[in-house]
Amino acid sequence: MGAEGRIIELGITLPAASTPVANYLMSVRSGNLLFLAGHGPYDLDGTVRIGKVGADVTVAEARDAARLVALNLVHTIRRELGSLDRVTRIVKVLGMVNCAPGFNQTPQVIDGCSDVLVEIFGKQIGSHARSAVGVAELPFDIAVEIEMICEVE
């Protein structure tokens, strides 16, 4: 079963399309690579998850926000390619966590993204290289921002 079938099987509803908040594109294709700009945790109703992880936001809440970011990324892939089944590999994920001083559990937060990518694309296509970094600030105080590179057909 492909990613499109898994989305249906898992009962996942993708959020509405993200739009750039400045002068950039949400995705750029170069050859067989699709580069996705940083996406934030926008929910189905358009609300956004904000706050500093380790102060205003718990690890569990931040992990859920990272899962939501992954769903936003997946929506952008579908919009760009027409079908998620055209993804041949999730290559790289860069997760940025809006951290309170001293917070160092960024890998656990970004697992929320990684886990859902493996759920949707399967282990062979969805497993990826990854960085999970803590930052002092993110745009509009969002809790998590993630960018991604995919190999596509």
Q: Which residue(s) pair with 33 in the sheet?
A: 30, 151
pLDDT band for position 129 (cuts 50, 70, 90): very high
Average pLDDT (28-51) is: 95
Q: Which two tokens stand for residue 31?
A: 């050859």
Do the bridges between strand 129-135 and strand 87-98 make them parallel or antiparallel, or are there none, so unpaired?
Answer: parallel
Half-sphere exposure of 90 (CA within 13 A, CB side): 29
Predicted TM-score of the model (pTM) = 0.96
When pLDDT is averaged across residues 99-106 and rounded to a whole number, the result is 98
Q: Which of 85, 86, 80 is nearest to 39 (CA)?
A: 80
Taking residues 75-101, report their average pLDDT: 98
pLDDT at 1: 86
% of the chain exceeding 70 in pLDDT: 100
Average pLDDT for residues 41-63, to the nearest whole number? Answer: 95
pLDDT at 32 over 80: yes
pLDDT at position 7 over 80: yes
Evaluate if residue 128 carries a pLDDT over 90: yes
Structural domains present in the chain: 25-152 (3.30.1330.40)
Q: Residue 89 has which token pair? A: 């590999």
